[in-house]
Chains A and B, each alone.
Chain A
Amino acid sequence: MRLNYPSNVKVVKVPCTGRVDMLLILKAFESGVDGVYVAGCMEGECHYLRGNLRARRRVEQVKKLLDEVGLGGERVEMFNMSASQGQRFAQFAREMTERIRSLGPSPAKKNKEVLP
């Protein structure tokens, strides 16, 4: 299809979005990313039945945590698309990139942990 999507998006492959634990998303933010989105299969079409539904709940939970911490829950999102919907994939990549651009860089980059 030769579709373009913003080059700032880094893809992390997982076997199913059900693999995406809250900690994975939080670790990404700790490493300095500005936003994270989870691209799951369409609801009702999960090969493992409920992987994408679980991922969505975890994303919702991470939104709450990011709000509490002051990074803003909008920096994380869940999108659904089927494997054949390249257009949708590119569209969400653009949407999320625009959203994060308007939010600006993650405020959690100011400092690095001083290890004991």
Chain B
Amino acid sequence: MIVGNRKEFGEILEKLGTARRVLVLGCNECVTVCGVGGEREVGVLASELRLYWQKEGQDFAVKEHTLERQCDYEYIDAIRPLTGEYDVILSMACGAGVQYVAEAYKPRLVIPAVNTTFLGVTLEQGVWSERCQGCGSCIVDMTGGVCPIARCAKSLLNGPCGGSSGGKCEIDRDTDCAWQLIVDRLTESGQMERYEEIQPVKDWRTGRDGGPRKRVREDLKL
């Protein structure tokens, strides 16, 4: 899923500027699961804003609404009647959702309330960890199911580097060295011969380096 962090309240206030009619817009997908932008978090942020403006003795209107998804036009379009009544939309979706809402409701101001951070997994309730950087050409079959691009600090394809020690990465003691994990997994599964294969320089054009990506599936089109 896509994982993010809620922005600090102070930063959100700053971005809102003089706007006092605010639609706080959540998303029911990834950001709900990682506890950053679902219905509940919309409630918390809306409550913070209300308490702040009540305290400041200002007039305001804060509306809470959560969409099934902010990355599909059908859902976004459904709130068109609602949006006209507010100065800004404070989106709690990932960056993709924020942008799609902004596109649908231009020239209305759309403000992100979340810092979108990574593609990852839930390690336990309340703890998430990065797993993939969407490089567009997956190689984890070669690396024991561990992604060296997302999980090695240097994204090394032939690791480890000299900083690997006691299974940990040199960036900090709490971070596993991805290449230690890879070697362990390959050993466990009797695939160490894969480790001997030198990975050539990766063609990053399938990733972000090739520019913004777009996918078209003619067979799925209406």
Residue numbers of A with Cβ under 8 A of B are 21-23, 26-27, 29-30, 65-66, 68-71, 107-116
Contact = CB atoms under 8 A, between A and B. Distances in A.
Contact of B48 (A69, A109, A112): A69
Given A29-B47, A116-B86, 8 more contacts: A30-B47, A30-B50, A68-B48, A70-B55, A71-B55, A108-B51, A113-B61, A114-B61
A21 B40 CA distance: 10
Contacts of A27: 47
A57 B85 CA distance: 37
A113 B62 contact: yes
17 contacts: A23-B47, A26-B43, A26-B47, A26-B48, A66-B51, A68-B9, A69-B48, A69-B52, A108-B54, A110-B56, A111-B58, A111-B59, A113-B60, A114-B59, A114-B61, A116-B61, A116-B85
A69 B60 contact: no
B59 A69 contact: no
Interface size class of B (residues with CB under 8 A): 20 to 34
A116 B23 CA distance: 11
Interface in B57-108: 57-63, 85-86
A69 B13 CA distance: 10
Contacts of A22: 44
Nearest to A115: B61
B9 A111 contact: no
B55 A107 contact: yes
Contact of B51 (A30, A114, A115): A30
A23 B43 contact: yes
Contact of A71 (B43, B44, B51, B58): B51
Contacts, number: 70
Scoring A66, A69, A113, A114 by chain B CB atoms within 10 A of each residue's CB, the highest score goes to A69
Given A68-B8, A68-B10, A111 B51 contact: no
B53 interface: yes
Contacts of B60: 111, 113-114
Contacts of A116: 21, 61, 63, 85-86
Contacts of B44: 22-23, 26, 65
A62 to B, nearest CB: 9
Contacts of B40: 21, 23
Interface in B139-187: none
A61 to B, nearest CB: 9
Contacts of A114: 59-61
Contacts of A109: 54
Given A23-B43, A68-B10, A110 B50 contact: no
B48 A111 contact: no
Nearest to B61: A116
Contacts of B63: 116
Contacts of A111: 53-54, 56-60
Nearest to A29: B51
A107 B51 CA distance: 9
B9 A69 contact: yes
